[in-house]
Amino acid sequence: MPGLLRSVATLLLAVLPLAARAEGVDITVPDHYLVDAPGPSTRTLPVYRVWGRHLEGGRHSIVASASAVPAGQTLGQYVDATVAGLTAGGALDVVRSEAPPLCGAPSYQVTYARKAPSYQLTFVFRYTLAGGRLLIASYAHPIGTPADPTALAALDTLCSGVHQPGTPQGWSIEAPYPPNRSAWRASPESRSLVAQVVGPTQAGRDAADLYDAHGATVTSDRRDSCGATTIRRVTATLDDGRTQEFASGTLRGYDYVVAYVRPASAPADPGAIATLTSFCTETALR
């Protein structure tokens, strides 16, 4: 994992302005991987998701990110520059190839290996441009161990799978956590929490009806248009006095339920509020 984090962070930070990075990335991760906390080298990347698990022979990991297109570069030029940097940096067995389209756009794959005292890993990276954004997904596993075919298949869902929101600025992601769900805290001791739960759409069920007040006092309950779908937005006071903001809806075959809970005395955090509808907002990622 350390090599994977350093490699992606170095590539992104070298060419991308912080303010230009996107607000989420779409990818569906296998159930046997768990959300992991980004390492110190990724602290400055607000849209960055890491998943990991241990299989026979060591740790396997998946990473996804989205960011602005490097100024003045085509995707092919960006990948060529990446390959040149890897080769110059001592990466082994670097291979660049065209890959099947992602989101209807061309994509490239780069594979290589790195050996260091603390890790020996094989990497598979996928790159594509979609809606003015550079999307990158990668998979790493120990050198000499079989690749996990489900992790490789996950790379093919980049830009078309479950929406994984970016972490609200100043918040921390909960880890370990189920792979296609997400939760964040404003701070370790804070009672403010944002959580997103995602599952395949069930026939005959409207995700907009999934809110259950559980004794809470509902102060606002409405239907809103969000992107190409209709969602339900609820504001309520929970029985412990905290305020809850809630959104739910269905998009591309998945039901989304997102909730933001905070003390009644705490002002609403704009980033947390934006996360409620990140899944349905028509962003530059699609």
* 4-25 confidence digits (pLDDT tens): 333 333 333 233 222 222 378 9
In a domain, 283, yes or no: no
In a domain, 220, yes or no: yes
- The pLDDT value recorded for residue 41 is 58
Number of domains in the chain: 2
Beta carbons of 223 and 230 less than 8 angstroms apart: yes
With 0-12 / 13-18 / 19 or more C-beta atoms within 10 angstroms meaning exposed / middle / buried, residue 11 is buried
Residues spanned by the domain of 272: 174-276
Question: What single letter denotes the amino acid at residue 255?
Answer: D
In a domain, 248, yes or no: yes
**Is residue 114 pLDDT above 70, yes or no?**
yes
In a domain, 140, yes or no: yes
Do residues 151 and 182 both lie within one domain? no
Distance (Å) of CA 66 to CA 137, 178, 231, 247, 279: 9, 21, 25, 24, 15
Buried b (16+ CB within 10 A) or exposed e, 261-271: bbeeeeeebeb
End residue of a domain, out of 128, 161, 194: 161
- The pLDDT value recorded for residue 265 is 93
> Which of 15-29, 107-121, 191-205 is predicted least confidently?
15-29
- The pLDDT value recorded for residue 73 is 87
pLDDT band at residue 59 under the 50/70/90 scheme: very high
Closest-CA residue to 238 (of 262, 257, 221, 220): 262
- The pLDDT value recorded for residue 175 is 94
pLDDT band at residue 186 under the 50/70/90 scheme: very high
Beta carbons of 145 and 56 less than 8 angstroms apart: yes
Q: What is the mean pLDDT of the chain?
A: 85
**Is residue 203 pLDDT above 70, yes or no?**
yes
Do residues 147 and 10 both lie within one domain? yes
Do residues 211 and 155 both lie within one domain? no
Do residues 146 and 182 both lie within one domain? no
Do residues 51 and 188 both lie within one domain? no
In a domain, 217, yes or no: yes
- The pLDDT value recorded for residue 21 is 29
CATH of the domain at 84: 3.40.1000.10
* 215-265 confidence digits (pLDDT tens): 889 999 999 998 888 999 999 999 999 999 999 999 889 999 999 999 999
End residue of a domain, out of 161, 185, 208: 161
pLDDT band at residue 204 under the 50/70/90 scheme: confident
- The pLDDT value recorded for residue 6 is 35
| Spatial CB neighbours of 71, under 8 Å, sequence gap ≥ 6 | none
- The pLDDT value recorded for residue 109 is 98
CA distance 132 to 129: 6
Per-residue pLDDT, averaged over 203-208, amounts to 82
CA distance 2 to 119: 8
